[in-house]
Amino acid sequence: MSIEASNQRIAADMAALAAELVAAFDADQRARASFGFDEAERRRWFYTPTDHGGLSMADMDVVQHRILWRLLACGLSVGGYNTTAVIVGQENLLDLVEGFGVDWGRDRGRDPLAYWIAIFGDPGPDGSWGWRFGGHHVSVHFTIVDGRIVSATPCFLGSDPASAPLLGPHLHRPLGAVEDLGRELARSLDPEQAKLAIVSPVAPSDLVTSNRTTLADGDGVLGLQHVWRGRFEEAIDALLGDLQTKLDASLGVTDESEAAWAFTTTPKGIAASALTGAQRDLMRELLLTYVGRIHDDLADAQMARVDAGFDELHFLWAGSLDPMTPHYYRVQGHELLAEYDNAARGGNHVHTVWRDLTSDFGGDPLAVHYLGASAQHGH
Summarised one tens digit per residue, pLDDT across range 212-247 is 999 999 999 999 999 999 988 888 899 999 999 999
**Which residue did the predictor score with more confidence, 231 or 33?**
33
pLDDT bracket for residue 104 (50, 70, 90): low
pLDDT in tens, 260-306: 999 999 999 999 999 999 999 999 999 999 999 999 999 999 999 99
Does a structural domain hold residue 371? no
Alpha carbons 113 and 119: distance in angstroms, whole number: 18
Q: What is the DSSP string of 159-175?
A: ESSSSEE-SSS-EE-TT
Same domain? 124 vs 15: yes
The 10s digit of each residue's pLDDT in 143-158 is: 999 999 999 999 999 9
Domain count, the chain: 2
Per-residue pLDDT for 369 more than 70?
no
Instruction: Choose one of 138, 161, 184: the last residue of a domain.
Output: 161
d(CA 354, CA 352): 7
Range of the domain at 337: 170-365
Residue 200: its H or E element: strand 198-200
45 and 78 co-located in one domain:
yes
Is 272 within 8 Å of 283 (Cβ atoms)?
yes
User: Looking at the structure, do residues 351 and 293 belong to the same domain, yes or no?
Assistant: yes
Interval 8-23: pLDDT, tens: 999 999 999 999 999 9
**144 and 175 belong to one structural domain:** no
Do 196 and 325 reside in the same domain of the chain? yes
Q: Residue 308's pLDDT band (boundaries 50, 70, 90)? A: very high
* 152 shares a domain with 203: no
Looking at the structure, tell me whether residues 344 and 195 fall in a common domain.
Answer: yes
234 and 329 part of one domain: yes
First to last CA, the chain: 38
**Do 302 and 223 belong to one domain?**
yes
